Structure 1
Amino acid sequence: MPVIVNKYLIGRHFVGVALWPFIVVKNEGLKRDATFINHERIHLRQQGELLVIPFYFIYLLEYLIRIIQYKNLEIAYRNISFEREAYSNEGNLQYLKKRTFWSFLKYR
C-alpha cells in the first residue's frame, strides 16, 4: 500500500486518510508511525471487503446517524463502527494477520 504525503490535508485533527489503494498523510513523519499506518491499513482492508465505494457510502451514512445520536462531531466520529475497529486494534501490528472477514460488524 503506497503512502503519499500531502501537506494540504485540511483540518487540525485530520492528518491522514485511507483512500483505496493509498494512504495519504499530512507529513513525512507519519509514514514511520507504525500505529497510525496500521490504523489506516485496517481501513484499507474494510474498504476492500466492501468493494470500496459502498464503504464510503456506509461510512458517511453511519457518521450522519451518529451525529444525530450523539450531537457531537468528535463523539460521532469515534463511534463509527469502522473507526471503533481501527482504534481498538491499531496498536496490535499483528491484527490484520488474524482479522476475520467483516470484523467491523462486531463494533456496531
Structure 2
Amino acid sequence: MGARYQIIVVPFLKVTGMALYPFILVNKKELLNNAVVINHERIHLRQQAELLVLPFYILYLLNYLVNLAIYHQHNKAYLNIVFEREAYAKEQAMLYLKHRKWFAWASYF
C-alpha cells in the first residue's frame, strides 16, 4: 500500500485519529508528525484495504457490539476490537507494515 494516503486535520474530530480509507484524519495539526498515531492509522488502512473497505467497517462494528455486550463499557469494548488490538500492539513498530502478513488481525481474536 505504500504511502498512498492523505492526512487531513479535522479539528472537531472527537478522537485523536481515525482511518477512513484512503484518508487518515487527525484532530490536531501537531499529530501530522506523530509517527505512532500515523502508524496506528496506517495499520487500519491496511486492514481496510485487505477487507475491501466496507466489510472492515461491518466487522469492526459487529466486533464492537459483541464486546460491548461482554464488557458493558465503551472503552473496554473498543480496546478489544481485533483491529484495534493489532493496531495498538504494533503501532510503535514502524517497519511492521513492511513485514505484516495478510489478515494478521485475525490472530488477535
TM-score by length of 1: 0.96
- Look up the match of 2:90: 89
- Look up the match of 2:63: 62
Q: What fraction of aligned residue pairs are identical, expressed as a percent?
A: 50
Provide the rounded CA distance (Å) in 2 between the counterparts of 1:15 and 1:42: 15
Provide the rounded CA distance (Å) in 2 between the counterparts of 1:32 and 1:59: 27
How far the C-alpha of 1:15 sits from its partner, in A, is: 1.5
Provide the rounded CA distance (Å) in 2 between the counterparts of 1:35 and 1:25: 12
Q: 1:6 aligned to 2, 5, 10, which one?
A: 10
Return the letter of the residue paired with 1:65.
V
Please list the CA deviations of residues 1-50 of structure 1 after superposition, one character each: whole Å capped at 9, or x if unmatched: 1000010113xxx1110000000110111110000000000000000000
Please list the CA deviations of residues 26-81 of structure 1 after superposition, one character each: whole Å capped at 9, or x if unmatched: 01111100000000000000000000001000000000000001111101100000
Provide the rounded CA distance (Å) in 1 between the counterparts of 2:74 and 2:28: 24
Unaligned runs of 5+ in 2: none
CA RMSD in angstroms, aligned pairs only: 0.5
Unaligned runs of 5+ in 1: none
TM-score by length of 2: 0.95
Q: How many residues in Structure 1 have an aligned counterpart in Structure 2?
A: 105
Provide the rounded CA distance (Å) in 1 between the counterparts of 2:48 and 2:36: 19
Provide the rounded CA distance (Å) in 2 between the counterparts of 1:70 and 1:46: 24
Provide the rounded CA distance (Å) in 2 between the counterparts of 1:24 and 1:89: 19
Provide the rounded CA distance (Å) in 2 between the counterparts of 1:36 and 1:17: 9
